[in-house]
């Protein structure tokens, strides 16, 4: 145990597995990669994918059997109401994650397979589940419940869980560090804008609201997901347009958002088209930003006092035009962007607001793998004592 200072982080999706081997002494990556197209002839299943990853690592002297490997940390998408923290995986925990499959039918099965295959390859190695929902389990009932019949909601576990929790946790702490304060002393709005997108209100290090709900469909406009809409849109599409439930699911999750609005889900492409005067790209951008600004306003009211707004993930870290549009004209909320700082490209956490901005506007690159590795390592280290 004493020499074991590395954590393998696995993110098993339905058709791909991403991995990073992290050296905990300094957070450096000793290896990383991606096995894609699981289910196709070249890589028929997760067992093949994970065996390939184990082989790739072994080729570099970093195999699963190496004594330096302390644990494997798995990203698990849905932990329901039960899992509020990283959890050492046992048979009972696996059963509980299995019971949550109806809440995450695409994600949890792949996560479970990743865990099972790794267990077969190294049965003695501690494995930890880090849940995408865990950081949001502190939301008060007033934010977590939908206003539907309580008995129905409870029977079917219909409530708001939130996702991207590992990122919101990592970034909210990163902002506090940037401000030279402890997380407990800071109220922050985190805007995780990637292909999936979510906002959260974090008060003193604790999540009090987030924009995703029962599933990752609620909230902001995303690459291919609609985010918020009147639930009656589903009824209308079903009753009037004759869409099946599967067709509605596919429409809202895969063919909506920026892709549905303008045909492109990549913000780089949307910005490029806008610069050429493309009107549908402009409208898609405006709808994206309008929704974002609504959430910023809502979370001001939820938090009461806001110390910082942090942008993260692919769009949040790179798209200066989105950041500018999101906060423009909000000086009365204490938000004053510095255009020069905002246009700087950098992989480092940084402040992009003017010195006289009452609320700090920051860009904090997310690192979900490092957060998963740290949570995993700290759990197995304390368990070993
Ligand atoms: P993520 O899910 O965090 O990996 O974010 C992926 C998304 O980030 C892509 O689909 C793009 O829309 C966006 N993105 C990545 N790089 C840039 C960039 N340089 N400028 C604007 N958007 C970007």
132 is catalytic: yes
**Overall average pLDDT of the 93-117 stretch:** 93
**Overall average pLDDT of the 371-377 stretch:** 97
* 18 assigned binding-site residue: yes
- pLDDT for res 332: 96
Give Cβ neighbours of residue 87 (< 8 Å, ≥ 6 apart).
79, 93, 128, 129, 131, 379
Residue closest via CA to ligand 1's atom 4 equals 314
Ligand 1 centre from 182 Cα, in Å?
30
Q: Could you read off the pLDDT of 84-100 as tens digits, one per residue?
A: 999 999 999 999 999 99
Ligand 1 centre from 85 Cα, in Å?
29
Domains and CATH numbers, the chain: 6-131 (3.30.420.40), 180-368 (3.30.420.40)
**Cα-flanking dihedrals φ and ψ of residue 17, to 5°?**
-130, 125
- pLDDT for res 274: 98
- pLDDT for res 109: 92
- pLDDT for res 184: 98
d(C-alpha 152, C-alpha 243), whole Å: 25
Question: Which residues line ligand 1 at a C-beta cut-off of 6 Å?
Answer: 194-195, 223, 265-268, 313-315, 318-319
Indicate if the pLDDT at residue 303 is higher than 80.
Answer: yes
Indicate if the pLDDT at residue 13 is higher than 90.
Answer: no
Q: Is the pTM of this model over 0.85?
A: yes
d(C-alpha 79, C-alpha 99), whole Å: 10
From the CA of 193, give the closest atom in ligand 1: 3
* 117 assigned binding-site residue: no
Which is the catalytic residue, given 55, 65, 91, 132?
132
Q: Could you read off the pLDDT of 162-219 as tens digits, one per residue?
A: 999 999 999 999 999 999 999 999 999 999 999 999 999 999 999 999 999 999 999 9
Indicate if the pLDDT at residue 270 is higher than 90.
Answer: yes
- pLDDT for res 137: 98
- pLDDT for res 77: 94
- pLDDT for res 1: 44
Could you tell me what percent of the chain has a pLDDT over 70?
Answer: 99
Residue closest via CA to ligand 1's atom 9 equals 266
* 75 assigned binding-site residue: yes
Ligand 1 centre from 265 Cα, in Å?
9
Indicate if the pLDDT at residue 2 is higher than 60.
Answer: no
Cα–Cα distance list, 40 to 15, 54, 56, 300, 311 (Å)? 9, 19, 20, 47, 37
**Cα-flanking dihedrals φ and ψ of residue 162, to 5°?**
80, 155
Cα–Cα distance list, 225 to 36, 222, 250, 296 (Å)? 22, 5, 9, 19
């Amino acid at each position: 145990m004493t020499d074991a200072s590395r954590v393998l982080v696995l993110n098993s999706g339905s058709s791909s597995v991403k991995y990073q081997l992290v050296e905990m002494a300094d957070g450096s990556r000793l290896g990383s990669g991606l096995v894609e197209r699981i289910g196709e002839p070249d890589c028929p299943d997760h067992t093949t994918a994970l065996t390939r990853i184990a082989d790739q690592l072994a080729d570099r002297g970093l195999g699963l059997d190496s004594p330096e490997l302390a644990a494997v940390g798995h990203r698990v998408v849905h932990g329901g109401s039960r899992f509020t923290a990283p959890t050492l995986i046992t048979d009972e925990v696996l059963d509980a994650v299995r019971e949550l499959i109806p809440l995450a039918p695409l994600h949890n099965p792949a996560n479970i397979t990743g865990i099972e295959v790794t267990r077969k390859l190294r049965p003695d190695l501690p494995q930890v589940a880090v849940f995408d929902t865990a950081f949001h389990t502190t939301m008060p009932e007033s934010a977590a419940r939908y206003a539907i019949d309580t008995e129905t909601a409870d029977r079917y576990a219909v409530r708001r869980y939130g996702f991207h929790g590992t990122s919101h946790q990592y970034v909210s702490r990163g902002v506090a560090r940037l401000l030279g304060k402890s997380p407990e002393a800071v109220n922050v709005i985190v805007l995780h804008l990637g292909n999936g997108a979510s906002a959260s209100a974090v008060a003193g290090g604790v999540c009090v609201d987030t924009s995703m709900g029962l599933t990752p469909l609620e909230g902001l406009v995303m690459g291919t997901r609609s985010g918020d809409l009147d639930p009656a849109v589903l009824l209308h599409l079903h009753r009037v347009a004759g869409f099946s439930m599967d067709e509605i699911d596919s429409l809202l999750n895969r063919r909506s958002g920026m892709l549905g609005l303008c045909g492109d889900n990549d913000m780089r492409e949307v910005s490029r088209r806008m610069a050429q005067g493309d009107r549908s790209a402009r409208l898609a951008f405006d709808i994206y930003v309008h929704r974002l600004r609504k959430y910023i306003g809502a979370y001001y009211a939820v938090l009461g006092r806001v110390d910082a707004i942090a942008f993260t993930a692919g769009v949040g870290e790179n798209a200066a035009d989105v950041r500018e549009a999101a906060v423009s004209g909000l000086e009365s909320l204490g938000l004053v962007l510095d255009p020069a700082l905002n246009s700087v490209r950098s992989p480092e956490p940084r402040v992009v607001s003017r010195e006289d901005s009452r609320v700090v506007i920051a860009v904090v690159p997310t690192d979900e793998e490092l957060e998963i590795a740290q949570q995993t390592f700290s759990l197995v280290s304390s368990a070993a004592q």
